[in-house]
């Protein structure tokens, strides 16, 4: 057990010897927090810049493991179509975004004819014969390049809902910028 002299005890229970207007200790604490925060933001900015530089890695449609390809394959084409076309798809044939004729069909499941998660415009119905996936549609309707298409998909569809854990991390600014406004 520690024993104190009377003088030490008084010092221990006395209020901190700080004048009411002496806030320098608070100032120091705030400064420290601000330094930590700015360090965090600087690191974020650094990894953000790095990601932007590396974005081609995340948007190579030939690579099935890249973010853009995964989002394209897993988010149902119908959802993207509904967002970007001015019509709700109904019936067997939908309006083809390439030729504008109502000659496109969509087979959402694999092993149904030759199409999976993209629309196909039937020439035997007078259509153009082109197939359109989500990324094609985004590029066609929004005039986006692949990196912007990835940001648009990530901003509008939570990747986790579709079993995708993206390697590219969307900034809050881009989330706001690319989220689809009707």
Beta strands in the chain (DSSP E): 104-106, 119-121, 131-132
Q: Is 119 in the site for Zn ion (CB under 5 A)?
A: no
Q: Judged by CB under 5 A, which stretch of 31-39, 59-67, 95-103, 144-152 contacts Zn ion?
A: 95-103
Of 64 and 123, which CB lies nearer to Zn ion in the complex structure?
A: 123
Instruction: Provide, rounded to whole angstroms, the least separation between the CB of residue 122 and Zn ion.
Output: 8
Q: Is 85 in the site for Zn ion (CB under 5 A)?
A: no
Of 61 and 99, which CB lies nearer to Zn ion in the complex structure?
A: 99
| Token duo for residue 80 | 């993207």
| Token duo for residue 72 | 């394209």
Backbone dihedral angles phi then psi of residue 106, each to the nearest 5 degrees: -135, 125
Backbone dihedral angles phi then psi of residue 132, each to the nearest 5 degrees: -130, 120
Q: Which of 68, 71, 80, 121 binds Zn ion (CB under 5 A)?
A: 121
Of 94 and 168, which CB lies nearer to Zn ion in the complex structure?
A: 94
Of 127 and 159, which CB lies nearer to Zn ion in the complex structure?
A: 127
Cα-based distances in Å from 107 to 8, 40, 90: 83, 46, 13
Q: Going by DSSP bridges, is the β-strand pair 119-121/131-132 parallel, antiparallel, or unpaired? A: antiparallel
Of 48 and 130, which CB lies nearer to Zn ion in the complex structure?
A: 130
Residues 171, 48 contacting (CB under 8 angstroms) = yes
Residues 140, 95 contacting (CB under 8 angstroms) = no
Q: Is 61 in the site for Zn ion (CB under 5 A)?
A: no
Adjacency order of strands within the sheet including 119-121 = 104-106, 119-121, 131-132
Q: Judged by CB under 5 A, which stretch of 8-16, 56-64, 116-124, 136-144 contacts Zn ion?
A: 116-124
Q: Which of 99, 115, 142, 155 binds Zn ion (CB under 5 A)?
A: 99
Q: Judged by CB under 5 A, which stretch of 89-97, 107-115, 134-142, 147-155 contacts Zn ion?
A: 89-97
Q: Which of 84, 85, 115, 128 binds Zn ion (CB under 5 A)?
A: 128
The residues binding Zn ion (CB under 5 A) are 96, 98-99, 121, 127-128
């Amino acid at each position: 057990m520690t024993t104190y002299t009377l003088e030490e005890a008084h010092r221990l229970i006395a209020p901190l010897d700080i004048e009411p207007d002496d806030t320098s200790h608070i100032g120091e604490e705030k400064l420290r927090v601000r330094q930590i925060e700015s360090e965090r933001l600087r690191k974020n900015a650094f990894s953000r810049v790095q990601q932007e530089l590396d974005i081609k890695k995340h948007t190579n449609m030939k690579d099935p493991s890249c973010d853009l390809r995964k989002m394209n394959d897993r988010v149902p084409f119908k959802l993207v179509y509904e967002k970007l076309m001015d019509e709700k798809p109904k019936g067997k044939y939908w309006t083809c975004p390439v030729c504008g004729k109502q000659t496109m069909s969509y087979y959402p499941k694999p092993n149904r004819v030759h199409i999976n998660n993209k629309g196909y415009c039937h020439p035997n119905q007078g259509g153009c014969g082109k197939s359109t996936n989500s990324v094609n549609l985004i590029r066609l309707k929004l005039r986006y390049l692949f990196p912007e298409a990835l940001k648009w998909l990530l901003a509008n569809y939570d990747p986790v809902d579709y079993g995708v854990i993206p390697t590219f991390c969307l900034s809050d600014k881009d989330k706001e910028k690319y989220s689809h406004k009707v």
